[in-house]
Amino acid sequence: MSERTTSERTMSERTTSERASARRGDREGGGRPSTPSPAGTEMRAEEVRAAARFAGRDPVEVLREVWGYEGFRGDQAAVVQHVVDGGDALVLMPTGAGKSLCYQVPALVRPGTGVVVSPLIALMQDQVDALSALGVRAGFLNSSQDAGARRATEEAFLAGELDLLYLAPERLVVRETVALLDRGTVALFAIDEAHCVSQWGHDFRPEYLQLALLEERWPDVPRIALTATATEHTRAEIATRLQLEDALQVVASFDRPNIRYRIEPKDNPRAQLLRLIRTEHDGDCGIVYCLSRNSVEQTAAFLVGEDIPALPYHAGLDRRVRQENQARFLREDGLVMVATIAFGMGIDKPDVRFVAHLDLPKSVEGYYQETGRAGRDGLPSTAWLAYGLADVVQQRRLIDTSDGDAAHRRRLTAHLDAMLALCETVTCRRQGLLAYFGQPSEPCGNCDTCLTPPQTWDGTVAAQKLLFTVVRLDQRGQRYGVGHVVDVLRGKTTPRVTQLGHTALSTFGIGADTSEAEWRGVVRQLLARELLAVDTDGYGTLRLTEGSAGVLRGATPVPLRREEPRRPSSRGDRRGGGSGSAGKAAADLDGDAAARFEALRAWRATTAREQGVPAYVVFHDATLRDIAARRPATTAELAGVSGVGAAKLERYGAGVLAALGAGPGTGDGTGDGRGDDAGGDAGATDPRSRVADDEGLALGV
């Protein structure tokens, strides 16, 4: 790995000496003393022992016991130890790289309760359920609770009975919550989705600006801010607004090598989406993003009409409907969620096999975060986008008519320009995506432009023909949209062209040798490069830009990407080329192991349904796959499988062994019919290192 992709760390003298030293002193001395709890919340002796079960222990030991992993991955170990020692940190890691462990482990090791600031109110229950399955004591405070539930959680916090407490940022800053935290012992503050503090970012939340009070109110409590998406500029803004300029900064690689990025010309996008699902992702779980609420509902209905289970999600739906649809998506296999960008942040479902965009995202940051929701389990996944001329026209118009000053519009334009450049690139798609975040890389071999390199051609003359047509119309005091201009270029004697006298234009028919689709591609690419513009009159009429003059003079060459021929619609084709997530997870298992894998999935589905939790909270596919391949016969052997921690071993061990047909192992290696070595340390003979990677972390990590 390059120095950049391994990590970027900066730490001031003050952080390494004064603040961290003071916080280490607090930790070694048992933490800041808390105000006595109200009557009825005093800790019982067994609760004291439970609260101290991890305090002061080695972080790697805690990782093994709770999560079932042999060691940390990449920069996790450095971040965890830094926060355990009382230091602040700003962490950028891609989805699935293990961000949450960077605060969850220190919260267990340090005295007190780790307070997690998260905007994801609708997902807090699932996060708490997932941690509870690991034996971690977690709770949340938000507006979905009644007074009794809130009071019970507050009392548990004051009694030291919580390892982690989730709060929304707006709740954290209210007087009552501040007073509550003052009365208890806070191990650390974790600020999740920290990019929400960026005022010009794609997910800005005004309430995040108030989180600077953490440093002011609790200066001796370490803070860790985490996000999967931030450019260098956004990272600097996060550090400034959260007063983390002196914090340890770690930037992991942004690369998600298991995701295949594909962008194709938009032509009947719903039919294109249907073809993608039927030929490549039959039976898979996926997310489809649309720009408008109306498009969301129509697309979901279209898929249902094609016998593909799909649900809508947007802010205009009743809150209960949104919650029910989200819960179904998390708990059921093979569902497709059609949504606006209101959906997805914090969604921890590991087996999302594809993310599709039917409309152009407004920024590369948004695109990266949304596509990153695919393939959290490390298995091959698809990021697919249908992109066309109308997208460019619409986005340019939205910017030109947006609220805000000229500086704001320039920022929006810069975001859009970067996204358009990614769409129009003729080089490696992943290389361009990573370069946007400042990470150099080589061609990936796993994106559409690497697998099928696009052809390019010198479009300078074509661009001049088109721009001269716009000029000739403008000389008459007339402006028209793309369709009419293309008709003039191709010499089509439509009633409108004839009525307007445009057959007399000097450019009439000079582009007859170019198809309509190719001309639309020329217009789209000129708009993307701002060599042509759409007027803000609401009619989509074309006008010149400052850059047009260079093209007209021949001073600006215009290399263009050649348009792909349109593929026939597969509306009636019901032959699925994919075999679903289960098939991908079991792809390289032999027949017997694949059968065991399916048996384990069936057991997991029943168990999850009985417990009312998503299937991945029980075990990820990657863990079930490892179990199926290794076929443990005792609980001791099962404990050697990556992703099987102590709590899950106790809770699910007998069920797993029964599903394998091995019966409830006792862990002593006796009575299993496999010899004296069966109860030994199975993990010791496995050449693979068990690390806290993206294949087994279901807790938003």
Give which of 525, 523, 522, 530 is closest to 547, Cα–Cα: 530
Task: Domain count for the chain, please give it.
Answer: 4
Boundaries of domain holding 465: 456-561
Q: What is the pLDDT of residues 69-82, one digit of tens each?
A: 889 988 999 999 99
Q: What pLDDT was estimated at residue 676?
A: 31
Rounded percentage of the chain residues whose pLDDT exceeds 90: 51
* 304 and 244 both lie in a single domain: no
> What is the CATH classification number for the domain harbouring 529?
1.10.10.10
Q: What is the pLDDT of residues 366-406, one digit of tens each?
A: 899 899 999 988 889 999 999 988 888 888 888 888 877 88
Asked if residue 349 is part of any domain, the answer here is yes
Q: Which of 125-139, 481-495, 661-675 has the highest mean pLDDT?
A: 481-495
* 375 and 312 both lie in a single domain: yes
Long-range pairs for 679-685 at CB < 8 Å and ≥24 separation? Answer: 679/634, 679/636, 679/637, 680/636, 681/636, 681/640, 682/630, 682/632, 682/636, 682/637, 682/639, 682/640, 682/641, 683/70, 683/639, 683/640, 683/641, 684/640
Q: What pLDDT was estimated at residue 40?
A: 36
Would you say 259 and 381 are in contact if contact means Cβ atoms under 8 Å apart? yes
* Boundary of a domain, candidates 508, 527, 561: 561
Residue 342, classified by CB atoms within 10 Å of its CB into exposed (0-12), middle (13-18) or buried (19+), is middle
Q: What is the pLDDT of residues 392-446, one digit of tens each?
A: 888 888 888 887 788 888 888 888 888 988 998 888 999 999 999 889 999 999 9
At 693, the pLDDT band (50, 70, 90 cuts) reads: very low
Give which of 693, 697, 505 is closest to 77, Cα–Cα: 693
Asked if residue 380 is part of any domain, the answer here is yes
> What is the CATH classification number for the domain harbouring 325?
3.40.50.300
Q: How large is the average pLDDT for residues 509-531?
A: 91
Q: What pLDDT was estimated at residue 219?
A: 93
Q: How large is the average pLDDT for residues 217-227?
A: 94
* 510 and 626 both lie in a single domain: no
At 123, the pLDDT band (50, 70, 90 cuts) reads: confident
* 8 and 91 both lie in a single domain: yes
* 597 and 542 both lie in a single domain: no
* 215 and 273 both lie in a single domain: no
Q: How large is the average pLDDT for residues 184-191?
A: 95
At 104, the pLDDT band (50, 70, 90 cuts) reads: very high
Position 620 pLDDT exceeds 50: yes
At 612, the pLDDT band (50, 70, 90 cuts) reads: confident
* 186 and 87 both lie in a single domain: yes
Q: What is the pLDDT of residues 665-686, one digit of tens each?
A: 434 333 333 333 333 333 333 3
Per-residue burial over 305-328, b if 16 or more Cβ lie within 10 Å, else e, is ebebebbbbbeebeeeebeebbee
The SS3 of residue 389 is: helix
Give which of 330, 378, 331 is closest to 353, Cα–Cα: 378
Q: By mean pLDDT, which of 76-90, 200-214, 564-578 is the weakest? A: 564-578
* 105 and 154 both lie in a single domain: yes
* 234 and 293 both lie in a single domain: no
* 63 and 177 both lie in a single domain: yes
Q: What pLDDT was estimated at residue 77?
A: 94
Asked if residue 695 is part of any domain, the answer here is no
At 234, the pLDDT band (50, 70, 90 cuts) reads: confident
At 200, the pLDDT band (50, 70, 90 cuts) reads: low
> What is the CATH classification number for the domain harbouring 676?
1.10.150.80
